[in-house]
Amino acid sequence: MRNLLIFITKYNAFFLFIIFEIIALVTFVQNNDFQKATFINSSNQVVGNIYLKVDQLTDYLKLGITNDSLAQENARLRNQLKSSFYVDSSVVKTVSDTVYKQQYTYISARVINNSFNRRNNYLTINRGSNAGITKGMGVICSSGVVGIVTYTSPDLATVQSLLHENTRISAMLADSNNVGSLVWDNGLDPTKAMLINFMKQIKIKKGTPVVTSGYSLFPTGTMLGNISNLDVKDSNNGTGIEVNLSVNFSNLQYVYVVKNKLALQQQSLEALEKQ
């Protein structure tokens, strides 16, 4: 306190000058309409800019919450897509009954870890068994197929990426019903895959979309990519059809885990055939 008083006493002339300047400025502005309007306009602009910066900062801090909310809304909308339902038709005597039953539901999740430049790549997502996710579920994003759930904990799950040597997706051309398998066999290029075991007797054009067949974990018609080369050597010196993948695996943020409500029934029946 003593040092403060000494400081004020030492520079009292300067402080008096500042006080008189402020009084003079206020008096000048109050008694001059033009200067008053200019001052108010300038101060409003400064305050407005401050409010704008604060609002931008607030929006940025809320961005994560907003993205999570949008992902959940997208999952809800995906649940209502026609591809999530199947037609259950039955005919009894002369009465025909057609019912749309939901086969697929979607659980939104955020990617918290991801690899895309290794031989076998995985993702980690922030949803687990508490959200209803189990091993073997398919995972997609807005651009197409991402991978398959491998392990779960209560709050997390790991996903075997499409960019994995053991991942095999049942695929077909969007304009035909010819089915093959999509595998990742292009070195370490995360943008390309191979379509194998495919009938080459049919005419295939570059740029043709490749989608899921519906025979595996994913709804029919989920995007995989577009054909880019018709005759490519794989790592075993076999040939396949090169596909430009639709998903950018280097920039995955939000995904949707696909829950097939008929999966257990299908697996049980197919297990009986193997006995």
Per DSSP, what are the bridge partners of residue 244? 192, 226
Per-residue pLDDT, averaged over 92-97, amounts to 39
pLDDT at 223 over 90: yes
pLDDT at 62 over 60: no
Chain mean pLDDT for the chain: 77
Which structural domain, as residue segments, surrounds residue 35? 23-61
If asked whether residues 116 and 39 sit together in one domain, one would say: no
pLDDT at 135 over 80: yes
Domain membership flag for residue 181: yes
Per DSSP, what are the bridge partners of residue 159? 123, 149
**DSSP-based three-state secondary structure for 34:** helix
Domain membership flag for residue 2: no
- Prediction pTM value: 0.66
If asked whether residues 195 and 258 sit together in one domain, one would say: yes
If asked whether residues 126 and 254 sit together in one domain, one would say: yes
Per-residue pLDDT, averaged over 88-111, amounts to 62
Greatest mean pLDDT among 11-20, 46-55, 144-153, 185-194 lies in 144-153
CB 253 within 8 A of CB 113: no
User: Considering its fold, how many domains does the chain have in total?
Assistant: 2
Domain membership flag for residue 92: no
The residue written with tokens 């003593």 in the block is 2
Per DSSP, what are the bridge partners of residue 91? 96
Per-residue pLDDT, averaged over 42-69, amounts to 57
If asked whether residues 113 and 183 sit together in one domain, one would say: yes
- 37 or 97, which is more confident? 37
- 196 or 76, which is more confident? 196
Q: What pLDDT is attached to residue 86?
A: 46
Q: Per-residue confidence at 93, pLDDT binned at 50, 70, 90?
A: very low
pLDDT at 112 over 80: yes
- 136 or 27, which is more confident? 136
Judged by average pLDDT, the poorest of 90-99, 183-192, 202-211 is: 90-99
Question: How would you classify the pairing of strands 192-196 and 239-245?
Answer: antiparallel
CA distance 52 to 50: 5
Judged by average pLDDT, the poorest of 8-17, 30-39, 68-77, 224-233 is: 30-39
